[in-house]
């Protein structure tokens, strides 16, 4: 090998080495996790006596803002016509829990987390089980997948509904009319596509606003068995009178 050829080879290797970190680098995501929430709910909540008799299981669907400290803000829960209501006690207990915050490359970020609290007695399942999703993809991924978590340190579609400026729209599920917009979240945390599933009453313009806002949002991607996985996220606004 001539000196000229050797120099060219070394130069080429140096260029590849310099470019490789930029070409192959991908952010390392960690979703927010439950921390001491299961223990906190166990200490604060006593299941009604009717559990284990005619009622075996009650599921409460919740979302909460998990701050970088692990503290919880804006807890909202919903039940679908329960025989025994556990909504209020669940919201109260979650507010005093400390979660593990989400992180990107080791740096904590605030996120909005969706979760289920499942209460049961009389079976093989523990009395209180927390799941990091609302169950919409359980048939595909099992019960324990992590749903995408919207980052609150970037553009946040939810901020438009923190007041009554948008036709009295409120965040998350509730009884009444709803608008639902689906976003497909890539493993990078970016929004790939958005589409309206349901526009309540004459809320088509509202749905378009949500679509436009969602396109600018960033997420901690969904996780299945500790692996980032592309999956959908559904933005919900309800209109209660």
Query: What pLDDT was estimated at residue 24?
Result: 41
CA-wise closest residue to 186 among 228, 156, 144, 215 = 228
Query: What pLDDT was estimated at residue 115?
Result: 97
Query: What pLDDT was estimated at residue 2?
Result: 58
Query: What pLDDT was estimated at residue 47?
Result: 86
User: Domains (ranges, CATH) in the chain?
Assistant: 27-132 (3.30.2420), 145-241 (3.30.2420)
State the pLDDT confidence band at 174, using cuts at 50, 70 and 90. confident
Residue 169: pLDDT above 80?
Answer: no
CB distance 219 to 156 below 8 Å: no
Task: Look up tokens 């680098």; give the residue.
Answer: 25
CB distance 240 to 170 below 8 Å: yes
Average pLDDT of span 81-94: 88
- Over the chain, what is the mean pLDDT? 85
- Number of C-beta neighbours around residue 54 at 10 A: 8
Burial of 50 (0-12, 13-18, 19+ CB in 10 A): exposed
Residue 52: pLDDT above 80?
Answer: no
Rg (CA), the chain: 22
71 vs 38: CA distance, rounded Å: 15
């Amino acid at each position: 090998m001539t000196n000229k050829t050797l120099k060219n080879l070394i130069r080429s290797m140096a260029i590849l080495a310099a470019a490789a970190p930029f070409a192959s680098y991908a952010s390392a995501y960690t979703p927010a996790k439950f921390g001491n929430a299961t223990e906190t709910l166990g200490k604060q909540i006593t299941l009604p006596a009717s559990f284990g008799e005619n009622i075996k299981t009650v599921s409460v669907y919740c979302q909460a803002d998990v701050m970088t400290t692990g503290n919880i803000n804006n807890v909202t829960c919903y039940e679908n016509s329960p025989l025994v209501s556990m909504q209020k006690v669940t919201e109260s207990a979650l507010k005093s829990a400390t979660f593990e915050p989400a992180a990107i490359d080791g740096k904590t970020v605030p996120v909005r987390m969706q979760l289920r609290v499942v209460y049961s007695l009389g079976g093989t399942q523990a009395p209180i089980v927390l799941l990091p999703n609302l169950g919409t993809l359980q048939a595909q991924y099992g019960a324990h997948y992590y749903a995408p978590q919207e980052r609150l340190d970037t553009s946040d579609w939810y901020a438009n509904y923190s007041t009554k400026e948008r036709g009295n729209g409120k965040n998350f599920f509730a009884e009444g009319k709803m608008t639902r917009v689906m976003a497909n979240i890539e493993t990078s945390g970016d929004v790939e596509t958005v589409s309206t599933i349901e526009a309540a009453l004459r809320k088509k313009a509202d749905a378009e606003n949500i679509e436009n806002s969602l396109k600018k949002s960033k997420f901690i991607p969904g996780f299945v068995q500790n692996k980032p996985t592309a999956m959908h996220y559904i933005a919900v606004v309800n209109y209660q009178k």
